[in-house]
A and B are shown apart, each in its own frame.
Chain A
């Protein structure tokens, strides 16, 4: 009975400490106003991921050798590189911007902000933005690559994988556009069409260059 009480009190304190940590992270997010910038980073990089995969898939198609193993290898390599580049690039640039802002505030207040909530919020923002920036291209790239993973398993044919990958890439671009339309409270369809049109134009250009 005593052990049960001890266990439940331990569980209770663990839950309350998790809640406290979440509340603190929310406070850091609100102070650093990270939501807006991470939204921007997410859309830009997810857009990059979908567009790059579209380019890779049509590039293989134009070259006339669509080997699912090669497409998956090139796609995974590309998305990993985009992820690492997004993470490190965003972390370093965001951290530099935040440090500059922090030093600016220190100068205005004539005080040292070491170990302050403002410093923690700045560090949190840099890591959060880097995570978003690193994960965003990988997510859309994985969506576009998924038909080739199925083709690799022999579940669908290669021509179907090419068509599905192109369709999924353009659909990802449409969803990103629609999301921007929702954020800006403007025409969702129009925004979605604009971004998917950019994908369609890229695909058309690649096919044209490759002479079908």
Chain B
């Protein structure tokens, strides 16, 4: 029985060249994501550590990772996850 991803909290490292608004907008375009929350945790010279919360009905994890990469952001750890049985 396949499971769907409904909520995920990740710790990510992003380039400071990308504003969090642009990254959030791009993530909202990913299939299954209905809501994105982003919190800047730490600021370095070139990078920022951000906590990102994705919420949705069936979040496409791979597409989210690829969108993040396109926007100069990489996941460092997945800290929370919420999945449900589909069908």
Chain A contact residues, CB within 8 Å of chain B = 27, 30-33, 101, 104-105, 108-113, 115-118, 121
> Which residues in A have their C-beta under 8 angstroms from that of B26?
117
- A-B pair count, CB < 8 Å, reads 51
Contact of A104 among B46, B70, B74 (CB under 8 A): B46
* CB-based contact B72/A113 at 8 Å: yes
Chain B contact residues, CB within 8 Å of chain A = 13-15, 17-19, 22, 26, 46-47, 69-74
* CB-based contact B13/A117 at 8 Å: no
Contact of B19 among A31, A105, A110, A111 (CB under 8 A): A31
Contact of A108 among B18, B22, B47, B70 (CB under 8 A): B47
Query: How far does the Cβ of A59 sit from chain B's closest Cβ, in whole Å?
Result: 46
* CB-based contact B72/A27 at 8 Å: no
* CB-based contact A31/B69 at 8 Å: no
> Which residue of chain A lies nearest to B26 when distances are taken between CB atoms in the complex?
A117
User: For the complex, would chain A's binding face be called helix, strand, loop or mixed by DSSP majority?
Assistant: helix
User: For the complex, would chain B's binding face be called helix, strand, loop or mixed by DSSP majority?
Assistant: mixed
Contact of A116 among B13, B22, B46, B72 (CB under 8 A): B72
> Which residue of chain A lies nearest to B25 when distances are taken between CB atoms in the complex?
A27
* Cα–Cα, bound, A108→B71 (Å): 14
Query: How far does the Cβ of A205 sit from chain B's closest Cβ, in whole Å?
Result: 45
Contact of B18 among A101, A112, A115, A117 (CB under 8 A): A117
> Which residues in A have their C-beta under 8 angstroms from that of B15?
105, 108-109, 118
Q: A27 and B22 in contact (CB under 8 A), knowing A109-B13, A109-B15, A118-B17?
A: yes
Query: How far does the Cβ of B52 sit from chain A's closest Cβ, in whole Å?
Result: 15
Sample 19 A-B pairs with CB under 8 A, ordered by A number.
Answer: A30-B22, A31-B18, A31-B19, A101-B17, A105-B15, A105-B17, A108-B13, A108-B15, A108-B47, A109-B15, A109-B73, A111-B69, A111-B74, A112-B69, A116-B69, A116-B71, A117-B72, A118-B70, A118-B72
* Cα–Cα, bound, A30→B23 (Å): 13
Query: How far does the Cβ of B69 sit from chain A's closest Cβ, in whole Å?
Result: 6
